[in-house]
């Protein structure tokens, strides 16, 4: 499957190489409160920004209610846009090998759901319903666990 080397990392074609797959990931921390009070202002690195992260998974029982609570913490029909300290949370995303070892990922500080899509409703196919969550965040910190080289 793999067949590349970048700056000495990677491997030539080898059927026993450990590969991180798109489906071997987890979010061990999603929506954890922190002390974030609002947007950052940089003195030297003006206009620093981080791209949003999009997570996609199957819709399951209870997921709608959990995402709705987080969405409602950002904006409500009666109160409008709420203060950042009410909706900004910490999120940790980890990618790992199929063995469950050598996790790598990111801690997204001040994250919040900028977009939630609950998937299509249709009579023309019988696929599982998909949920997409777009996370916007202030900054990211690398997270490494296990046997990391």
pLDDT mean over 56-83:
88
pLDDT value, residue 35: 56
Report the distance separating Cα 123 and Cα 61, nearest Å. 21
Tens-place pLDDT, residues 123-137? 888 888 888 999 999
pLDDT, position 21: 72
Domains of the chain, CATH where assigned? 20-144 (2.30.110)
The rounded percent of the chain whose pLDDT value lies above 70 is: 74
């Amino acid at each position: 499957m793999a067949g590349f080397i970048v700056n000495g990392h990677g491997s030539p074609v080898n059927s026993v190489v450990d590969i991180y797959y798109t489906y071997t990931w987890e979010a061990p921390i999603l929506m954890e409160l922190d002390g974030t009070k609002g947007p950052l202002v940089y003195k030297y690195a003006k206009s620093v920004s981080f791209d949003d992260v999009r997570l996609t998974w199957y819709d399951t029982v209870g997921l709608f209610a959990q995402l709705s609570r987080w969405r409602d913490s950002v904006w409500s029909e009666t109160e409008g846009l709420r203060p950042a300290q009410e909706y900004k949370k910490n999120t940790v995303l980890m990618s790992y090998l199929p063995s469950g070892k050598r996790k790598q990922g990111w801690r997204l500080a001040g994250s919040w759901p900028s977009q939630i899509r609950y998937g299509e409703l249709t009579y023309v196919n019988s696929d599982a319903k998909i949920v997409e969550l777009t996370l916007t965040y202030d900054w990211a910190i690398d997270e490494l666990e296990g046997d990391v080289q």
